[in-house]
Amino acid sequence: MAYVSPPLKWHKPKKYRSDVIATAKASGCVLQFWNSLIVGDELTALSIVDDDDYEYLIDAIYDTSNIEEWKNFRFNYRGLRLWSLSYEQELTTPLHITASRGFTDCLRLLLQRGADVDLAPGGTTALHESCENCQPECTKLLLIHGANANAVTEDGLMPLHFCTSPESLECAKNLLQYGAAINGRTLDENDTPLHVAASNGLPGHAQLYLRYGAAVDKQNNEGLTPLIAACSQPQEARELERFFKVCQVLLEAGADVHTVDQDKHTPLHMACKNANPDVVDLLLANGACVNDMEYGGEAPMHNILKVVCYKLSHQPERIVRALLNHGSIRVWPGALPVVLKYCCGSPRTVEVLLNAYSHLKVTDAWVESVSSEALKEHKGFYESVFSLARTPRSLQHLARFRIRIFLEDRVHKVVPELDLPTAIKNYLLLEYRDYVH
């Protein structure tokens, strides 16, 4: 497939506004009012806006940028003969400040005195900012006073799209109770709120959206469904469980494990790429195909082997074992030294791979492929591997190999049902022994 470049994202330049209050130059009661908003001092704010001369401050637009700093920065860039920066105002309002900081009393005061609830001089409303900063009480208060739950920012995002952390769940509930569009799309990527929840590993949000009728298999501009989005997101070891729970929620709601994105990646491809063993097991249990090829001709097995050295804490050996037990293609024997080079830090991954072959042609290239650090740390294991250059595989292993070849992709189904001791069944399923024979 020919390479398709991502669409360019062009944003209309903002017009310079002269009807704003520059905080860097504010003084007197104007500055005092601004400072009271920053710290949530509603009594001071009230005393100022109750004065007819300063009532206009309720809907005043503040510019928090500093043009002098920008001028210095721009001058330095010119001196370096680089691109100069264009000056942009950073606009906000009293509602934005109080809503984003969780100052409910101040926010209520402003709303009761008629503040424009949907004012968005900087491109976002106060409701967007209260959701982004996980302020559920402020979110609810804004909605009670008529804030548009489906207001769109200049970047094409609705308030639900700003609910990107576990702490924003109550904000999302409030939005939905006041009519937020459950399948509202972002302008650039065409993401729904469910895509956002999946991409951020938010099982609570995903459950909530599905209860409100979110489309479980909606695809965005790149062909990602929420399930593919959850599997595609890079994940730290501490985040694996969250993303597993999201995938569990989506699959229980009927998500299709066979849907592919525009590059023919399945959820299994992406779960292997990000090395989430629990998600891989879940997808396989729900019928995912282990040998589907993406446009580049790579199967899920290729994806996990590419990242083993970076994902040691994710237990990549579990994924390789699961794929092989479900009938995955094996690595071409001639490529094993290369695989060994990049996977030697995970001896159990190497063990599982090698136990998928009846014979191995161990050469000096194998020895050279193992780093000195890995050899030192896992000396016993690699000595057992290198010893195969002088001895054949054991009869026990050869018997296992023949049984697995006969069962093909039914290994994971048939072996657990056999009337055999557990130790033998585990051996047939490539249980780790920390040596090869």
Amino acid at 269: H
Q: What is the mean pLDDT of residues 317-343?
A: 95
Using left for φ > 0, alpha for ψ between -120 and 50, and beta otherwise, residue 40 falls in: left
**Rounded distance, CA 424 to CA 429, Å?**
9
- pTM, two decimal places: 0.89
Q: Nearest CA to 334 among 302, 360, 306? A: 360
Which of the residue ranges 13-17, 176-180, 425-429 would you say has the lowest mean pLDDT?
A: 13-17
**Summary mean pLDDT of the chain:** 90
- Per-residue pLDDT for 2 more than 80? no
Residues of the chain with CATH 1.25.40.20: 18-178, 182-329
CATH of 18-178 given 3.20.130.10, 1.25.40.20, 1.10.10.10, 3.40.50.720 = 1.25.40.20
pLDDT score for 355: 96
Residue 74: which pLDDT band, with cuts at 50, 70 and 90? very low
Indicate the range of 26-40, 65-79, 97-111, 240-254 predicted with least confidence: 65-79
Structure tokens belonging to residue 241: 């469980």
pLDDT class for 343, splitting at 50, 70, 90? very high
What is the reported pLDDT for 66?
Answer: 63
CA distance 111 to 58: 9
Residue range 304-317: mean pLDDT, rounded: 95
- The token pair that represents 359 in the structure block: 């014979």
Please tell me what DSSP assigns to residue 22: E
Residue 166: the pLDDT is 96
Query: What integer pLDDT is reported at residue 49 of this predicted model?
Result: 87
- CATH class for the domain made up of 182-329: mainly alpha
* Residues 104-118: tens digit of each pLDDT: 999 999 999 999 999
Of 309, 360, 320, 316, the closest CA to residue 336 belongs to: 360
Cβ–Cβ under 8 Å, residues 106 and 98: yes
pLDDT digits (tens, 9 = 90+) for 245-273: 999 999 999 999 999 999 999 999 999 99
